[in-house]
Structure 1
């Protein structure tokens, strides 16, 4: 009976170690050497680079893998007065104290001419005066111009002028704020932050909010964080501008022996590899390999270089060693790109632990069988 038990245990142990040799043990991530060694093949289609201080200097010369960066319009000073533009609606009130007037009835002291829309040629039409240019003028200058024209037919007149801003003197605030809508510009010193404040501020819960300014068919962009930090980005708005506030659409992925396996939004404008490790919950302490963190990235074909100023393969694996000081400092200066995959490989000891667990289970099963046989 003892001989049978020994044979059974040895047979089961051989099966377990055979499984280990075939590397088909159950696990949740690749071991670093499985990926890195594949790059040594003659026909490999990806490159492997260790992220070190020396390599970061080389990486600085590589093309930026990020999407095309949107430009921005620097801030400049503007007048604190409104300017009449095409589409604005004017209301002219003519005061006349004379008993006989071309514009007013007997006993009438004021005449109101409402809903005078500024025509595409920049003029408004007044009875007995005709087309009078007002576009590009402030209200004060336009009132004086209209008074001089009306005074020729009504010498004792006084003119009052008010305006309702039209499309050319309004801006649209679309999404991402408390109260989106179309807002009239009170003067030519109306800035982006003025508009966002009027719209109730940026909505809470947006991840790294981004601002998009659409002007004359062009799109400009910056982040709220940069806008707050740099007053030079608080650009002046123009009539017809459209402003969109939305969360950052960029993301990266995490897989393997990480604290989280998920898709993660960019929570700030620049995310380092060390930031990413923190966002994903670090390296899983029981099975992760801190010396084998990989970042997988794909470059477009037009970014490939044969002279070393860029990657020589479109698919690149960057390896990070978080067990050394150089590796940690380098990880803090390595910036993630849109769509990067952060893969935390398993520690080789995990396979050994799995083997020991299986062996222990086999011996336990053998002991139970022996007990039943006795």
Structure 2
């Protein structure tokens, strides 16, 4: 067999190998830059592709704020002697007559021990009837009982004592030093002091959230804001439930990054640069710094501002493009806020796929040479 024939055989093998590689495709971590842009509404796709700049950051950089409603913040601090449902009172009543309503003959006073405030906040006093106790101080209850008895006996004297109280309690669960039910006492009438009584938070303070459930109302704040904003140190009420939990927001990192994973937030706010740093940054041998994408479903109001259209209805798919090689590109990425549920995807550089094709062809040609040698060409 002549050398010309051998060269022709190898050439045919190369052409066949290239055709096979081109038709079958090669493994890769995801779509390339061109394929992502082909999903734009400008290309008959269903997503808006936007290059990130200062204007986009101003509109899209919305992070959910956590705060208590006015009803929580405007609630007054409970007095240390405020009576609550479930409290136990002691009453002593003096009468200035020999034959009194309540005082036994030969005595000048009668004692009513362990009068419990019912669930509706009332106590029952003979001849005075049902008396509203909850929300009042012992002094206020004393005046009410005196006024009611005065209609039936001259100048009665009444003493009201608070013996015990189990109505003013809160429950604390979650990431605290000691979960449990705690009474509202003079040192623990506000949220911060009550958390301190429970041993403080036992999770990373920067991503700790504090939720207070009061009846049908719920309010949540960041734990750090409890000390940065004094208004968040709300007054507690009996029956409040306090829940301390870790931030559950996450984003997904895919493509040519240091690692591909499901990533929890490590701070209250995370920029695109910080998100990339959390997963090991861009791969130095594979990443395309012009192709960093953030996939997000934007609410209608934000999407309309971003694209300048008022005909959009409902949640819209938006793909943000971060080109780190542009002038100020790193600043734009630093100012771009990642949100819960985002997907951060880094495309591969074009040469990486080309290198795979060459490697595949080289391997294919080597196999072709071996086959030609075995057949005696």
- Determine the structure 1 residue equivalent to 2:316: 314
8 A Cα contact 1:29 1:344, kept in partner: no
Alpha-carbon distance, 1:343 to partner? 0.9
- Determine the structure 2 residue equivalent to 1:234: 233
- Determine the structure 2 residue equivalent to 1:89: 87
Secondary structure of 2:328's match?
helix
Q: Distance in 2 between matches of 1:136 and 1:38?
A: 63
- Determine the structure 1 residue equivalent to 2:361: 359
Alpha-carbon distance, 1:257 to partner? 1.6
Distance 1:45 1:36, change over 3 A: same
Distance 1:223 1:320, change over 3 A: same
- Determine the structure 2 residue equivalent to 1:31: 32
Alpha-carbon distance, 1:340 to partner? 1.3
Alpha-carbon distance, 1:328 to partner? 1.0
Secondary structure of 2:333's match?
helix
Q: In structure 2, which of residues 333, 336, 342 is the aligned counterpart of residue 334 of structure 1?
A: 336
- Determine the structure 2 residue equivalent to 1:17: 18
8 A Cα contact 1:248 1:266, kept in partner: yes
8 A Cα contact 1:92 1:112, kept in partner: yes
Q: Distance in 2 between matches of 1:9 and 1:104?
A: 124
- Determine the structure 2 residue equivalent to 1:350: 352
Alpha-carbon distance, 1:103 to partner? 5.6
TM-score, normalization by structure 2:
0.78
Secondary structure of 1:282's match?
coil
* 1:87-108 Cα distance to aligned partner (Å, 9 max, x none): 2322316499xxx99668999x
TM-score, normalization by structure 1:
0.79
Distance 1:174 1:300, change over 3 A: same
Q: Distance in 2 between matches of 1:365 and 1:53?
A: 54
- Determine the structure 2 residue equivalent to 1:50: 51
Q: Which moved more, 1:145-154 or 1:15-24?
A: 145-154
8 A Cα contact 1:191 1:235, kept in partner: yes
Secondary structure of 2:352's match?
helix
Q: Which moved more, 1:349-358 or 1:50-59?
A: 50-59
Alpha-carbon distance, 1:116 to partner? 2.0
8 A Cα contact 1:80 1:188, kept in partner: no
Secondary structure of 1:305's match?
helix
Distance 1:366 1:207, change over 3 A: farther
Q: Distance in 2 between matches of 1:23 and 1:372?
A: 26
Alpha-carbon distance, 1:336 to partner? 1.9
8 A Cα contact 2:21 2:360, kept in partner: no
Alpha-carbon distance, 1:255 to partner? 1.5
Alpha-carbon distance, 1:265 to partner? 2.0
Q: Distance in 1 between matches of 2:165 and 2:138?
A: 12
Q: Distance in 1 between matches of 2:118 and 2:292?
A: 65
* 1:155-194 superposed matches below 5 A: 159=159, 161-167=161-167, 169-187=168-186, 190-194=189-193
- Determine the structure 1 residue equivalent to 2:280: 281
